[in-house]
A = this chain, B = another copy of it.
Amino acid sequence: MPRFSFHIHATDGRARTGEITMARGSIRTPAFMPVGTAATVKALRTREVEASGADIILGNTYHLMLRPTAERIEKLGGLHKFMGWTKPILTDSGGYQVMSLSALTKRSEDGVSFASHLDGSRHLMTPERSMEIQRLLGSDIVMAFDELVALPAPRETVEAAMQRSMRWARRSRTAFDQGGEHAEKSALFGIQQGGLDERLRAASASHLQDIGFDGYAIGGLAVGEGQQAMFACLDYAPAQLPENAPRYLMGVGKPDDIVGAVQRGVDMFDCVLPTRSGRNGQAFTRDGPLNLRNARFAEDLAPLDAACGCPSCTGGVSRAYIHHLVKSGEMLGAMLMTEHNIWFYQELMAALRSAIAAHDLTAFATRFLARYKARAAS
């Protein structure tokens, strides 16, 4: 079993379908990673996540370092054993949440000091500490620690953050490689920065390749710039990264974002949208999202999506019942909706993989998007 390998089985335009092979299992690409923030994909048992077709989930370094702490998870046998998930886990570096959730952050060349959003306790996050935490968790795919910039921002700010992120990427690489046994069986991904500036993105990609990583993430997108600007960046950013390594678009996204990003050469995605929406009464369907709180579903005996393979849609659960559960604030509503949404995302990824393998991606994307957006337009 190789530590990490990536094979592309087929391409269609810039899109690719393939497989990442790791000790804990294979990851079919393009892949969607459900988010398991606090050692749980919210409202789902791990066997329910696995049944949806997910090959890998994401864990959040920031949340886990604060509670129950990485040291405790390591003592208890690692994140996989702790939460009962045997397949690969990708952990983020903690950088995004440090800067978006914590208080009193203070950045320096060394790293970021911050106060916990849970209890105000002060912590220092550095590339070295991020690598240590992800090692203690037992992560399969470790993300380099980078510095984020909220867009829009002056070019100088974006460039300075990108340059610092590249210095941190090198420190991440060094610290990861000193991780002993963990480094021998896990992978490290670098993160491209540079905002919406093609030349900064190119410089960042070049820096990262000089260091060398198992995979490359496209960072700093899906932060409010809009789909059009994101797609414009994805028209060049993936091609700046190595052809023979997976490309991971962090924090994306809506189903139509994913389709467009796959068409532009992205291989991996993560997003809280299917799980968070499931707790908020929104169901993804092939005919677009539905708000199950709406009274028009009160006597609707149809499943959420007749083409969906999830246990609810194939097991006779009606929109009327889900509507009742959501209106009544019943936990089961969030459980069934989250499960359905995760299935929808995994079925979308499977359909994209099949379409690429059949060299039919353009037609598939056109059909999918036309149907997905028809209701919104009506």
Interface of A toward B, CB cutoff 8 Å: 38-40, 42-45, 67-68, 72, 75-77, 81-84, 279, 298-299, 301, 311, 315-318, 320-321, 324-325, 327-328, 330-332, 334-336
A334 to B, closest residue via Cβ: B331
A67 to B, closest residue via Cβ: B328
Contact B299 A332 (CB under 8 A): no
Give CA–CA (A68, B72) in the complex, Å.
45
Contact B331 A39 (CB under 8 A): no
> What is the predominant secondary structure among interface residues of chain A facing chain B?
loop
Give CA–CA (A332, B76) in the complex, Å.
19
Contact B298 A335 (CB under 8 A): no
Query: Hey, which chain B residues are within 8 Å of A83, CB to CB?
Result: 321
Number of copies: 2
Contact A299 B72 (CB under 8 A): yes
Interchain Cβ contacts under 8 Å between A and B, 9 examples: A38-B324, A39-B325, A42-B330, A67-B328, A68-B298, A82-B320, A84-B315, A331-B335, A335-B335
- Indicate which residue in B67, B315, B332 contacts A42 across the interface (CB closer than 8 Å): B332
Contact A84 B316 (CB under 8 A): yes
Query: Hey, which chain B residues are within 8 Å of A335, CB to CB?
Result: 43, 45, 331, 335
Contact B332 A44 (CB under 8 A): yes
Query: Hey, which chain B residues are within 8 Å of A40, CB to CB?
Result: 325, 330, 332
A327 to B, closest residue via Cβ: B67
Give CA–CA (A317, B76) in the complex, Å.
12
Give CA–CA (A102, B282) in the complex, Å.
31
CB distance from A274 to the nearest CB of B (A): 15
Question: 3 closest A-B pairs (Cβ-Cβ)?
Answer: A40-B332, A43-B331, A68-B324
CB distance from A83 to the nearest CB of B (A): 7
Query: Hey, which chain B residues are within 8 Å of A316, CB to CB?
Result: 81, 84
CB distance from A228 to the nearest CB of B (A): 36
Contact A331 B42 (CB under 8 A): yes
- Indicate which residue in B67, B311, B320 contacts A324 across the interface (CB closer than 8 Å): B67
Contact A43 B332 (CB under 8 A): yes
Contact B39 A324 (CB under 8 A): yes
A338 to B, closest residue via Cβ: B331
A336 to B, closest residue via Cβ: B45
Contact A331 B328 (CB under 8 A): no
Contact B331 A301 (CB under 8 A): no
Give CA–CA (A320, B325) in the complex, Å.
30
CB distance from A270 to the nearest CB of B (A): 19
Most buried by B among A42, A321, A327: A321
CB distance from A82 to the nearest CB of B (A): 6
Query: Hey, which chain B residues are within 8 Å of A298, CB to CB?
Result: 68, 72
Give CA–CA (A82, B298) in the complex, Å.
12
Contact A317 B84 (CB under 8 A): yes
CB distance from A208 to the nearest CB of B (A): 34
